Structures are given as structure tokens and as C-alpha cells.
Amino acid sequence: MKSFAEMNISDKVLAVLRRYGIHETTPVQEEAIPVVRKGTDVIVQAPTGTGKTLAFLLPLMERMKSHVDETQVLIVTPTRELTLQIAKVARSLADAFELRTLALYGGQDIERQKDKLRRHPQMIIGTPGRLLDHLRRKTLRIAQANRIVLDEADEMLKRGFLEDVEVLLQALAPDKQLLLFSATMPERVRALARRYMKEAREIKIEAENVTLDAIKQTVVDTTEEAKLDRLSALINETQPYLMMVFCMTRQRVHQVTMALAKRGYLVDELHGELTQVQRTLVLKRFRNAELQILVTTDIAARGLDIEGVTHVVNYDIPRTTEDYIHRIGRTGRAGHTGEAITFVNARQYDQLRRIESGIKSRIEKIRSARSREKAKAREKIREKALKERAEAKKKAAKPLSKYANRKGADHKGRNPRSRRNPGGGAHTKKRGERMKKR
């Protein structure tokens, strides 16, 4: 990997990166930064945790004009969490470039956002719904903005935001540069790229570079009834610094959170039914390690970068490989190692095989005590059956002739004088010698 110093980054920016312990580029940064600098449209397909944020923020900020009081760059994300994550990184770099940034998302007071927009931020990061709301109120002016980033485009498709994104694209300057980042590339996302991009450069980073090297992955064979006890045992055994537990539904998140709290663990929940203030408070407590365990839906699977997450548990197995990659990508970040544990019951092994096929690797399996006992019992039955079969075969075997079992017989039941075996035995050889003497 190249160092950022080799990428012709200014000394001010290098100092900021060093402050956060960032020295070398990731593969996506090494490939994307030079292309974005040229003003080329780019399609980047890369999984979570690859350093995509810096891959577009650094080259875009280099090309922005700090003396122009207009919105020049628009970054669109599917969730508030991802918006806040990108905004945090953008703020840390903005002083070095003398730029103003602003995050716009739902759940905030819209009047306060209007006041901030009057200060003419040059880079805006936001969710499609809130950006469109300000555009319709004419409080957001992006007619001069000529660079736009669509981050996690596949997730925007899932959430039904592509139509809103198209409205935003049409409101931008006609000579815009479009950067599209996505973990997967569904056909509708490709169709959007074809409509709005010109001679786009494609960059693809393989998933295994991220997920398999830095994260130890295991599967725990269990049952629905035993999951909570198995999770408690896992927490006690591993003593995680910070652990994220992923569930499929909000109801399940609440149930698991309450059950763990009753057992005395420092735990809280995160899901879409919480207000933005509640979500921000929970994440703040988790980042500060005031909580040890965060139970959450897939809302936290993308765009949430929390230092110190040592363990991720898939309490409910994810539906797709992409969801699996995004979930476990919350650990093993920025050169650190992590551990991902997935609970699987007997009916979910087909789903597990699809995930293994997607990541091109088999995941190590840890059986429960009950499952191990069943496996031992099956092995004993198998060994007994093999033994009985061997004994039955031995009893059924017949000798070659009535002489075959005679003690000390060398001929093994074969007749050496037979025409089918001329000269084949000791008797035949002696007879030949006698004939020669005559």
C-alpha cells in the first residue's frame, strides 16, 4: 500500500490524518483518489470498512474553492447514522482546507437547519428525504453544485430512495461529476449510472480483502430456546470490550436487550423506533464504553464506525451475504482484528451455505454441547453398523475349494496340474525335472 505522503496530500491534511493514526492508503483509496482528482465519473464497488469515506472526501475537498460561498459538493446517504459518520470525518478535514460542512437529516429541528443553511456551507451531507424537503422549501440551493456522491447506493435502492435521488441529480449543475459507491451493483443502480454518468471509470474491490483477513468468523450451532443462554455464556467467556448483537426485528432487539439487562449486563438497544436524540445518546454511551453491549437491527450495519468493537454477534442470521458483510464489518476495522459469531439452528444451514458461497470461504463451526452429544451418538451408531457389516461379510465368505483351509497347505486350493495353470505349482516343476532326466 502507498502512504498518503506518496499521494501528494498537503502537509496540513497529512497532520490531521496522523492525528487519527492514518498513514497508509487502503486499496480503494489508492485506486479512487487519482481518478476523482481528474474530475472523472466513478463507480466504486467495495464492501464496508474499506475506507471509502476518505477515498472521496480527500480529492473532492482538494478541488473545492474555500472563497466561494456556494454549495459545491453534495453527499447523499441512505441513513442518519452514515450521514453523521461522514460528517464527522468531513469536519475533521474541513479546517485544513478552510471549508464549511453541514449534515442534514430527519429528526432534527428544520428551523435550526435553515439557519445553518444561511451560512452557506460548501459541502452538504444528508439523507434524501431531508435534502428533498429543503429543496422544495427553497432553503437548499444546489444549482451551482457540480460534484455529487451517492454513498451506499444499493441501500438507497432497498429503502426506495432512488426516485428522490433522481430529483436531486436533476437540480444540480449540468456539468456535474458523479461518484457512486456501493457494496453491490443491482441493475436499477447500474441503470441510474448509465443515465447520469459519462464515460465512468469502474473500480471494484473484492470482499475477501476486508472480511476474511481481519475478522475471525465462527458459527455456533444452537436452538432458538438456547440462544439467550448461549449469548450470555459467550459474553462471559470472551469478555468483549464492546460487542454488537444484531437481530432481525425491533421487537427481537427489545426482548434481547431486556433479557440481558435482567442478567446484569451493561446493554442498550438501537433501532428505527427511537428518536434521533435517543439514538445519538445511545451511540455516545457505547462509544464511551459506558455500555458493553449494543443490541441493534441492521440500521447499525452500515456507516457506523465505532472504535473498539471487538465482537459482533449475529443473534439472527442475516438474509443476504451483503448484510452479513456489513454487519461483521463493524469490527476488524482500521487494521485491528475482530471476531464475528453467527448463531445458526438446524433449519438455517442452507442460508449459511449461501453466505459462505458469497464470501468464498467456509466458516468454522462450533457445536453446542447438545449438538456434540448427538454427533457422538451418531458416530457410535455408524461404527457399530460398520463392525456388524464386516462380521456379516466375514461369515458369508466361502473358501476357494475344499482344500483351501487345510492347515499348512501351500496350494491355497488351486490344482497345479490344471491346464489353466501349466507349471504353476511345486508338483508340476518336479515332474518336469524327472522328464528331463529320462
pLDDT in tens, 373-432: 777 888 889 888 888 888 888 777 765 555 555 555 555 555 555 555 554 455 555 555
Q: What percent of the chain has pLDDT over 70?
A: 86
pTM over 0.85: no
Q: Which residues contact 140 (CB under 8 A, 6 or more apart)?
A: 71, 104, 117, 124, 131, 134
| Average pLDDT score over residue span 133-147 | 93
From the centroid of its chain, how far is CA 435? 87
**Mind giving me the DSSP string for 347-384?**
GGHHHHHHHHHHHTSPPEEEE-HHHHHHHHHHHHHHHH
The yes-or-no verdict on residue 229 having pLDDT over 90 is yes
Are both 4-205 and 209-373 of the same fold? yes
pLDDT digits (tens, 9 = 90+) for 144-191: 999 999 998 888 888 889 899 999 999 999 899 999 998 888 888 889
Which pLDDT belongs to residue 167? 93
Comparing C-alpha atoms, which of 111, 138, 108 is closest to residue 126? Answer: 108
Which pLDDT belongs to residue 140? 93
Which pLDDT belongs to residue 358? 80
Indicate the average pLDDT of the chain. Answer: 85
pLDDT digits (tens, 9 = 90+) for 281-318: 999 999 899 999 999 998 887 767 788 899 999 999 99
Length of the chain: 438
CA distance 271 to 249: 9
Domain-wise residue ranges, the chain: 4-205, 209-373
Which pLDDT belongs to residue 4? 86
How confident is residue 262, by pLDDT bands cut at 50, 70 and 90? Answer: very high
pLDDT digits (tens, 9 = 90+) for 57-72: 999 999 999 899 999 9
Which pLDDT belongs to residue 437? 56
Torsion on CA atoms 284, 287, 293, 299, rounded to nearest 10 = 70
DSSP-derived 3-state class of residue 413:
coil
Which pLDDT belongs to residue 402? 55
Supply the CATH classification number for the domain 4-205. Answer: 3.40.50.300
334 touches 307 (CB < 8 A): yes
Q: Write phi, then psi, for 130 (nearest 5 degrees).
A: -70, -35
How confident is residue 210, by pLDDT bands cut at 50, 70 and 90? Answer: very low
CA distance 84 to 133: 18
Q: What is the CA radius of gyration of the chain?
A: 33
* Strand 101-104 to 215-221 pairing: unpaired
Indicate left, alpha or beta for 101 from its phi (over 0: left) and psi (-120 to 50: alpha).
beta
Which pLDDT belongs to residue 170? 92
Give alpha helix (H) positions in 98-183.
110-117, 128-136, 153-158, 162-171
CA distance 434 to 404: 28
pLDDT digits (tens, 9 = 90+) for 80-105: 888 988 998 999 999 899 999 999 99
Supply the CATH classification number for the domain 209-373. Answer: 3.40.50.300
The yes-or-no verdict on residue 44 having pLDDT over 60 is yes
Q: Write phi, then psi, for 280 (nearest 5 degrees).
A: -60, -40
Among the residue ranges 213-217, 357-361, 419-423, the one predicted with the least confidence is: 419-423
Which pLDDT belongs to residue 326? 82
Which pLDDT belongs to residue 403? 53
Comparing C-alpha atoms, which of 326, 183, 355 is closest to residue 244? Answer: 326
